[in-house]
Every structure is written in C-alpha cells, then in structure tokens.
A and B are shown apart, each in its own frame.
Chain A
Amino acid sequence: MLVLCEGQRQNMEVDQMQRQYLDYTKSLFLEGFLDGQFLQLQQLQDENNPDFVVEVVSLFFEDSERLLNDLTFSLEQKTIDFKKVDAHVHQLKGSSSSIGAQRVKNCCIAFRNFCEEQNIDACLSCLQQVKQEYCHVKNKLETLIRLEQQIVAAGGSIPVMEFSF
C-alpha cells in the first residue's frame, strides 16, 4: 500500500501541472499559433518582471480588439478607405508579430495584399479570418496563462520551454 504524504501529493500535482503546461505550450507552437517571439517574451519574464507575459498579452488583446473594431467599421463604409484599412492591418500585424501570434500575423500579411489590390471581397473575408484567428489565439493564451497561474498557486514554478527549431 502506497501512502503519500500531503507534500508529496502536492508535488505530484505541481509536476503534472507543469507537464501539462509544457505540453500545451508545445502544442501551441507546433500548431503555429505561437512562434519564437513568444518564447522571447517568456524569457523576458523573471523575478523582477513576474507578470510580464500576462501584461503584454493583455495589452495585445486590448489593442487587437480595438483594431478589429476599427477594421470592421472601415470595411463597412460605403466608400472604403483602403489606406486606413491597410494602416490598421499593418498595426495589427506589428503587434501580433511582436507577441508571437503567428497565425494572426500571417492573416494580416495576406490581408495587406488584398488591401493593396483594393479587393473588397477578399478584404472582408480576410477580416473574418483574422477575427477567427484572433479568437483562437486569445483562447489559447488565456488557457496558457491559467495553467501558469495554477502552477504558481500550487507553489510550483513555471517551467521554461526550450525549443530548437
């Protein structure tokens, strides 16, 4: 009969959580939701900046939602100002790339091409795509952060991902 003391059980939980966290992170990279830039952000987080990732991710969410609203508005106009649309997309591209939201960024790249062509239909479809990708990555990131917080709450430390690409 195996008796585990409380501490050991907790450790197992933390271990599991950490493993779960690592697996989840890995999957995000493998599926292309995140890229190396996100790793950089994680590496920038330390004792002096313990909430850096959360902070940046929150900024990204705020910013993106605003941009997506602006984009929707701009593309709803009777006469579409493609320059404006492009400017918004460009900004979204910048922030998504800075945070490592790869799929969103890729959508933006395609989006910009259509802006240049002034292809309204394609732009509208791109907008939908971008919104979708944004929602995906938002969910993923929120899950990831939740996992992190669970680990920390359980007294563990967030494991550092190491990837070789």
Chain B
Amino acid sequence: MNLGSGKGSTSSSPLKTGDVVSDQFPAGLRVMVVDDDPTCLRILERMLRACLYEVTKCKRAEVALSLLRENKNGFDIVLSDVHMPDMDGFKLLEHIGLEMDLPVIMMSADDGKSVVMKGVTHGACDYLIKPVRIEALKNIWQHVIRKRKNGLKDAEQSGSVEEGDRLLKGCDDGDYSSSVNEGKGSKKRRDEEEEGDERDDSSTLKKPRVVWSVELHQQFMASVNQLGIDKAVPKKILELMNVPGLTRENVASHLQKYRLYLRRLSGVSLQQGNLTNSFISSQEATFGATSINGIDLQTLSVAGQLPAQSLAKLQAAALGRTTAKAGVSMPLSDQKNLFSFESPRLRFAEGSLHHLSNSKPMNLLHGIPTNMEPKQLVTLHQSTQTLGNLNMRVSTPAAQNNPLLMQMAQSQPRGQILSENADSHATRFPSSLVQPIVPNSISNGVLGNRITGSSNITSAYNTVPQNSSLLSFPINQTNEMPVGNFPLRSTPGITSIPTKAMFHEEGTSGITGPGGFVSSYDMFNELHHQKSHDWDLTSTGITYDSSQHANPLQGNIDVSPSVLVHQGFPCLQQSVQTRDSTSIGKPLFSTGEAIHQSNLQNVSQQHLNNLVDSSVRVKAETFPDPSSQINNLFSDQYGQEDLVTAFLKQQEGVGPSDHDLDFDGYSLDNIPV
C-alpha cells in the first residue's frame, strides 16, 4: 500500500484560510487518489503533483477511507478508480459522500454508458476515462469550489424545504388547492432564513465543512427522533443537538440528504420481493426479517397511495399528451417478473459492474422497462428517482450483511410503527398493499412518493428511522452497505432506464448534447488522438477496428449529459465555456465522423434550448398542484428529471410547445443558448 507524503492532513488548505481564495489556488489542493493499479496510481500521482496539488495516494479503498476519516478536514477532493478488488469504487464514493461530503471523481478505463451513469447517480462530481491526461486533472479544483457553493445553496433552500414539509403534512391527498398560498408562504420563509444564513457565512467560499461522523449523526438522529420526523426542522434539530460550531445550514443540508436517503430506502424495499397479493408473505419468505416487511409495508403504503389518476396525470403531463388512462397495464404475471428482486445484480459486487450494465434496466424498476414503452419508462423512472436509486443501492438483505436493514431489524416491526403513526393512512397500508397490485399499481407504487406528495410520504418515510437511532448510514460499516446516495443531487432515477429506453432504442440521438463536454472530454481527446493513429495501424496491418473508438465515444456522448445533469446547471455553463475543444456547434471531429458531428451539433443545440424551456415547463406540468411544495422538497432532483424528460421529448419529437404552463421557479440564467 502506497501512501504519499500525507501532508494533506496537517497543512491548511488555501481554500480554508480566510475569505478569499488564496492566490496560489488551486495549487496546494489536497487530493486523495485511490487506485489499485500501481501503474496508474503512480502516473496520477505524478500528474497531480505536476498540477501543484498535494497528493496522497492509496492502493486500497479501505485504507483511503480510514485515512479520510482520520483526517476529517484534511482533503479537498478524492479521485477514485471504479474497479477495485477490495471495495467497489462506487461504494467508496457513497461512503465519502455520506461521511465527509467531499467531491469525488471517478476514473475508469471503462467508458460504458451505464458505468458512467452509475457515477452520476452515485454522486460523483465527474467521471474521467482512462488514460487520464494531465489536462483533465488541471481542472478538478472546480469541483471543490462548486461543491461548496452548492452546499451553501442547499442550506438556503433547506429553509423552503422545511416549510414545504410542514405544508405537506397539512395536506391530504387531494388537497392541492392551497398550494399557491403555501408556495408564497414558503418563499417568504425562505427569504427570512436566507438572511439568517448570510449572517452565518462571511463568504460563499469559506464554508466550514462539517463532517458528519457517526457520533454526530447519531446525535442528529436522536434529535430528529425526539422531535418526531414531522416536526424535525433544522432549527430545532440544531437546538436539540447542541453541538458547538454546528450551523443551521449544516443541519439543514444533512437533513435534506437524510430525507433523500430515506426515500431511496423505501424505493428499494418496494422493489424487493414480489408485488403480488401475497406480497407480505412472499416478502417474509424472501427476507426473513420482519423489519424488512415493515419497510416494505411502509413503502408500499406510500406506493398504494398513489391514486390512479395521478399516475395518469403524470404520464400524460410528461408525455405531453392529454390525460390518458393510466397507460401502464400489465398482467399480474408480469408484475411478478417486474419486481422479482435479483440480488446478485444489484449487489455491489467488486468489479462486477458488468452485472449492472448487462442486466436490464433493473436499477430502477426491475423488469418494468421490458414490459413498457420507453416513454412510459421514462415517465415512471423520472418519478421513481429516489425509489429507483435505492433499488440500486440496497441489495437483498438476505444476501448481504446489510447493516442498515439489520439495524432496522432491531426496531419494532414496521407495521406497528405505521399503525402507531398518527397518520390516518397508516391503517390503510395492508389493504393498499393488495389493491394497488394490479395493473397500474406498479407505476403507482413507483410514483407514489412523487404524486401523493403530501403527508403520507413524509410520514411514511419518516416512520422508518423513528425507531432506531442506529438507523444511520453505515458510517462505520466496512461491509459494503450502500446506504444511499447522500451527495446525490441529481436524479437517481437517471439510471439505466433511460439508458435502455433511450440509448438502446433510440440510438445515439439519446442524451446527447452539451453534457457531452463534461466527462467525455478526455474521450474526445483520446479519440482525436487515436484517430490520428489509425493510419499507423492500418499501415502495419494490425487488425484493429477503428470503430471501436467510435463506439466508446458514442457511449460517452450519450451518457455524458447525465453527468452534466448531475452537476447541475452551473456545470453546464462551465462545461461549455471551459472546454474549448468541445463547444457546442463546433465540429468535433475533423476526421469526418459526420454522424457524430451532426448528432452532437443538432441535438446539443436543441437540447440546450430544451434545457432552458421545456425542463422548466415540464416540471410545472408534471406536478401542477402541489408543485411549489414538492418542488421545494425535491428541487435538485427535479432539475435532472426535467432534463431527462427534455431530452426524451427531443427524441420523441415532442417539442416544448406542448407545454403551456409557465413556470419561473427555475433560474436557468447561466445556460448559454
């Protein structure tokens, strides 16, 4: 195991001292690089040092993790390989995101769309294709800055999140009429809190990074439980926790992540087991742990709450058509297939991302894609985001030592919790378990957390952790329980469903676009580079299929927008501006790859437009009623969800004109169109 100089732990980062970014910056950036390949590790270390960064290298993920834990504030950014023998790179990514909230860049020689997508959904800031060039490393500091800025923004938004939560609780299923007023209320509230926030921070860049250690998180959990999930708002949590130096924003952003995590959890259990009439019993058979049932019950309760018409609305809205009957009709037998949980696939086996890429888009909804049209897929999956993401993360408890679920097991069976819950819907759960399990129900279930929107979701989700403060993210777990994607801001749902739906079925016209310039930067270079080598190869008679270059590149193009999406809009701007060689509209390949060229140019420009226009509108249309609350609640996720929708629309030829609602809740100023 190689350790670098390890200077990172004691020296102060230029980013931290003072309000102003040091002149030296990004020199001195403290980078942790993790790669089991000694050749790559050495090269990366050398390159990073050439960028004047402080480098610590690790051969093993475990070592890296413990180093990061020991030096809580000792690193600014982490670079990690994807395929590592001792721990999957994505697992490491999640751990880091949960515990330290550092920006993490994934690297791999694997440029497959699904893998890159995984990076996105797991919250990686970027994905570099090996061989990594030094130019790619020169800019990694941007992720550090961006993360801090976004962290601040999170804190500000959390004010409205709180408000949104409270309002949601007051709402019942059909009660969307007061959304307008509540929206205004939340906005006012947010303004108030923004003032408070600004007082706390003196500059956008100087944000003390709070590391949510196990202890801290347990304190957090205890406070949340004490307050009751319904009443757990950052201010109160902060008071209860009584931790010096902890700010409201810290708590707020952690709370937001926590909620996301819970939602994801529920989604996973939704998809575990079979959604049949004998759901409960089959679940028991599958998992053999009552607590799991509890989770599932809870999830299903959420699921069951989605009225059919909401689903229809959602689908219709997203697809730009008039409200149609819920289009997802599947025979029961299919449903069995759809939700049969195949643990080997979902489990994060080391170096076996192949599973995930090869299997059907089960990441979100196991078999659904195979039985449904891509469009429907997208619809579902958009809304499934967190649910689906959970699906990817949490493997079968039975199959894996799942600390989270195990911990849940320590608590009372969820059924009890649910019934204890004051929420009147609680008692409906069992029946709703059965009923929704008919055509539409799956979609219902999947979309449940979205559409119902109201108290049911929050309370349902939140009942889970009430029990055990141990229901924490496996901060200290070394066994790889992929808890959820805390740093995730993007839609977890943008996983393989679009991959399958869009990439496989609609070819390269899928998610291409400006995003192509973010993670595929290296690939472009490489392609360009290699292209020029083609003549070498042919001259020496080496049989090498140059199209192999094209394919990975293509894959990159397709996928990178998701990376882009993950990074949010600010990144879009950056990517367009900083990547000179890959700006929109310019011919990318001088070697005459016309197809790629035209695809990229046309689609990218259209996508940009769509990003600005339809994404905003789509959001509004999708959730016409409780939009303000839900938007506040899932603001970040919606960004990406809308992008996906926008992209898809692009393919389907459904232009933004289909959406007539105006919505100005999104500021997309930064996007150069």
In this complex, how many residues of chain B approach chain A with their Cβ under 8 Å: the count is: 36
Task: Confirm or deny: A142 has a beta carbon within 8 angstroms of a beta carbon on chain B.
Answer: no
The size class of the interface chain A forms with chain B is 35 or more
A90 near B83 with CB under 8 A, answer yes
Chain B residues positioned under 8 Å from A52 (CB to CB): 46
Nearest residue (CB) in B for A67 is B37
Nearest residue (CB) in A for B540 is A31
- Enumerate 20 A-B pairs (CB-CB under 8 Å) in ascending A order: A35-B530, A36-B529, A40-B133, A44-B47, A49-B46, A59-B39, A59-B42, A87-B83, A87-B352, A90-B83, A90-B110, A91-B36, A91-B37, A91-B83, A95-B40, A98-B37, A98-B130, A100-B131, A102-B533, A106-B548
B354 near A97 with CB under 8 A, answer no
Interface of A, secondary structure class, is: helix
User: Beyond A44-B50, A106-B542, A165-B532, is A83–B352 a contact (Cβ under 8 Å)?
Assistant: yes
Cβ distance A16 to chain B, nearest Cβ, rounded Å: 26
The 7 closest A-B pairs by CB, nearest first: A165-B532, A94-B109, A95-B39, A87-B351, A32-B536, A97-B131, A98-B131
Chain B residues positioned under 8 Å from A49 (CB to CB): 46
Nearest residue (CB) in A for B83 is A90
User: Beyond A29-B536, A83-B352, A98-B39, is A44–B131 a contact (Cβ under 8 Å)?
Assistant: no
Given contacts A35-B530, A44-B50, 5 further A-B contacts (CB under 8 A): A29-B536, A94-B108, A99-B39, A106-B542, A106-B548
B354 near A83 with CB under 8 A, answer yes
User: Beyond A56-B39, A95-B39, is A44–B351 a contact (Cβ under 8 Å)?
Assistant: no
B109 near A44 with CB under 8 A, answer no
A44 near B42 with CB under 8 A, answer no
B39 near A63 with CB under 8 A, answer yes
Chain B residues positioned under 8 Å from A62 (CB to CB): 38
Chain B residues positioned under 8 Å from A83 (CB to CB): 351-352, 354
User: Beyond A52-B46, A98-B132, A109-B548, is A60–B542 a contact (Cβ under 8 Å)?
Assistant: no
Q: How far is the CA of A35 from the CA of B531 in the complex (A)?
A: 11
B544 near A106 with CB under 8 A, answer yes
Q: How far is the CA of A30 from the CA of B534 in the complex (A)?
A: 10
Chain B residues positioned under 8 Å from A95 (CB to CB): 37, 39-40
Q: How far is the CA of A31 from the CA of B354 in the complex (A)?
A: 33
Task: Confirm or deny: B671 has a beta carbon within 8 angstroms of a beta carbon on chain A.
Answer: no
Chain A 1-53 interface residues, beta-carbon cutoff 8 Å to B: 29-32, 35-37, 40-41, 44, 49, 52
Nearest residue (CB) in A for B528 is A165
Q: How far is the CA of A119 from the CA of B545 in the complex (A)?
A: 18
A94 near B130 with CB under 8 A, answer yes
Q: How far is the CA of A57 from the CA of B536 in the complex (A)?
A: 23
B544 near A90 with CB under 8 A, answer no
Chain A residues positioned under 8 Å from B544 (CB to CB): 106, 110
Task: Confirm or deny: A162 has a beta carbon within 8 angstroms of a beta carbon on chain B.
Answer: no
Provide the B35-79 mask, 1 if CB < 8 A to any CB of A, else 0: 011111011001100100000000000000000000000000000
Nearest residue (CB) in B for A30 is B536
Chain A residues positioned under 8 Å from B352 (CB to CB): 83, 87
Task: Confirm or deny: B134 has a beta carbon within 8 angstroms of a beta carbon on chain A.
Answer: yes
Cβ distance B295 to chain A, nearest Cβ, rounded Å: 30
